[in-house]
């Protein structure tokens, strides 16, 4: 009875949590999602930095110099001041506009990465949640098993006192009761450890009690429809495709080194000086206006090397994309095969479970009326426990496989 009390205390101190609630909490608290959101903000600043190339650059400077009397002669005053206000404006520079395009594509890429991380977190939350439901049902199984052997031990005690069964039956019954207690305690320990992993992943401090149970959910989608969804919606493939697009644009950015650049500038400046040898110090001010055309005729094949590297990087990413595509399709096929296999196993175990339950009922009744020995009851109970636990395990694996399909196609 004390083990039952432990389990009731375990599930009563925490608040109930559904799968949807767990996913929402995980999406809010997960560290990788927060880091990815910060990376997205950082990329947004890269766009602003790239746009700076099309805006005018304004600089202002001022200087003061005092010369020794031996150096101040001619038109040079002893106290010299100067200032300059300069505005530079890029008129034509392909690299600036391509850099902005790359920055925007990188932002889109980071958005896809964030979505992919969310899908990973959602799937992992489902796996942890289903594991808790499985272990919770195992606890219920061993709680029922413990109650069964407690009743069996009481019955055997009464039969022994009445001289119906020998001492060995009583010893056997007590040993099986102790085994049932140990199994129940182990099931609780396994559940508590999994619960701690679940809480750590969701970054929760208080205990929670997962709501629901593992149940068979029909799954009838065929491979072709799932593959179409994979190609259209799979977040990992979307990241790979967008990453390939970024590297394609970087090739264009490398080609910009073959184009000239044109910029204009306006400068207004002033300095103190003498207009004549006999005149006093005064401010001499004025402006300059001009254009500057730059073209790199030869830089030691540096731009050729940069362009070649950009093409190589693109080809590497293209191979990586193809590899990712094959990997995702392989995972889809394996998950679908798992589901088909598990459906058949679940159906078979359901029939075995019904037979094991009936065999246990008959063995228990025969033992109660002294028509069979305790070993038959022990075998029947162990077979029922093993079959039921295997059924729960298959349901857990089945739900996990569906979660993997959802991860790949949604």
CA–CA separation, 410 and 405 (whole Å) = 8
The residue behind tokens 């505005």 is 87
pLDDT attached to residue 12: 47
CA–CA separation, 409 and 329 (whole Å) = 10
Do β-strands 79-92 and 57-66 pair in parallel, antiparallel, or remain unpaired? antiparallel
Here the CATH number for the domain that contains residue 126 is 1.20.1600.10
Q: Confirm whether 210 is domain-assigned.
A: yes
Tell me: pLDDT of 299 over 50.
yes
Instruction: Name the domain count of the chain.
Output: 1
Assess contact for 366 and 376: CB atoms under 8 A. Answer: yes
Tell me: pLDDT of 352 over 70.
yes
The residue behind tokens 């929760």 is 204
Q: Confirm whether 298 is domain-assigned.
A: yes
Return the percentage of the chain with pLDDT > 90, whole number: 74
Tell me: pLDDT of 11 over 50.
no
Tell me: pLDDT of 371 over 90.
no
Tell me: pLDDT of 2 over 70.
no
Paired tokens of 66: 């005092």
CA–CA separation, 159 and 167 (whole Å) = 10
User: What is the pTM for the complete model shown?
Assistant: 0.84
Return the percentage of the chain with pLDDT > 70, whole number: 95
Q: 105-159: per-residue pLDDT in tens?
A: 999 999 999 999 999 999 999 999 999 999 999 999 999 999 988 998 998 899 8
Stated as kind and residue range, the H or E segment containing 12 is helix 2-12
Q: Confirm whether 73 is domain-assigned.
A: no
Q: Confirm whether 223 is domain-assigned.
A: yes
pLDDT attached to residue 368: 81
What's the whole-number mean pLDDT along residues 12-23?
84
Tell me: pLDDT of 22 over 60.
yes
Assess contact for 36 and 51: CB atoms under 8 A. Answer: no
Q: 44-66: per-residue pLDDT in tens?
A: 999 999 999 899 999 999 999 88
Assess contact for 251 and 95: CB atoms under 8 A. Answer: no
Q: Confirm whether 71 is domain-assigned.
A: no
SS3 35: helix
Neighbours of 9 (CB within 10 A): 9
Q: Which domain holds residue 142?
A: 2-66+78-409
Q: 215-248: per-residue pLDDT in tens?
A: 899 998 999 999 999 999 999 999 999 999 999 9
DSSP state of 295: -
Q: Confirm whether 72 is domain-assigned.
A: no
């Amino acid at each position: 009875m004390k083990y039952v009390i432990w389990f009731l205390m375990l599930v009563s101190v925490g608040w109930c949590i559904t799968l949807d609630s767990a996913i929402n909490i995980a999406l809010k608290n997960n560290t990788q999602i927060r880091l990815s959101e910060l990376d997205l903000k950082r990329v947004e600043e890269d766009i602003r930095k790239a746009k700076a190339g099309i805006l005018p650059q304004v600089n202002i400077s001022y200087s003061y110099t005092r010369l020794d009397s031996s150096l101040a002669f001619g038109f040079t005053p002893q106290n010299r001041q100067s200032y300059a206000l300069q505005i530079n404006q890029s008129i034509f520079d392909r690299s600036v506009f391509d850099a902005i395009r790359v920055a925007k594509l990188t932002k889109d890429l980071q958005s896809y990465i964030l979505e992919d991380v969310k899908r990973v977190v959602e799937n992992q939350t489902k796996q942890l949640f289903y594991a808790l439901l499985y272990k919770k049902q195992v606890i219920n199984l061993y709680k029922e098993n413990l109650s069964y052997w407690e009743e069996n031990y009481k019955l055997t005690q009464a039969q022994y006192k009445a001289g119906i069964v020998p001492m060995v039956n009583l010893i056997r019954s007590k040993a099986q009761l102790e085994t049932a207690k140990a199994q129940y305690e182990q099931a609780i320990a396994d559940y508590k450890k999994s619960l701690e992993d679940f809480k750590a992943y969701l970054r929760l401090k208080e205990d929670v009690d997962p709501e629901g149970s593992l149940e068979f959910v029909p799954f009838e989608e065929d491979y072709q429809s799932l593959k179409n969804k994979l190609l259209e919606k799979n977040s990992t493939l979307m990241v790979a495709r967008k990453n390939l697009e970024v590297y394609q644009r970087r090739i264009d950015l490398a080609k910009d080194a073959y184009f000239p650049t044109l910029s204009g500038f306006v400068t207004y400046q002033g300095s103190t000086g003498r207009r004549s040898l006999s005149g006093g110090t005064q401010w001499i001010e004025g402006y300059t206006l001009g254009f500057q055309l730059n073209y790199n005729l030869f830089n030691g094949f540096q731009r050729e090397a940069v362009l070649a590297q950009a093409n190589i990087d693109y080809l590497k990413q293209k191979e990586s994309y193809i590899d990712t595509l094959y990997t995702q399709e392989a995972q889809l096929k394996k998950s679908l095969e798992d589901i088909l296999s598990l459906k058949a196993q679940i159906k078979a175990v359901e029939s075995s479970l019904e037979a094991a339950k009936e065999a246990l009922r008959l063995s228990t009744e025969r033992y109660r009326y002294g028509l069979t020995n305790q070993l038959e009851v022990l075998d029947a109970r162990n077979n029922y426990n093993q079959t039921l636990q295997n059924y729960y395990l298959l349901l857990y694996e089945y739900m996990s496989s569906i979660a993997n399909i959802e991860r790949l196609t949604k």
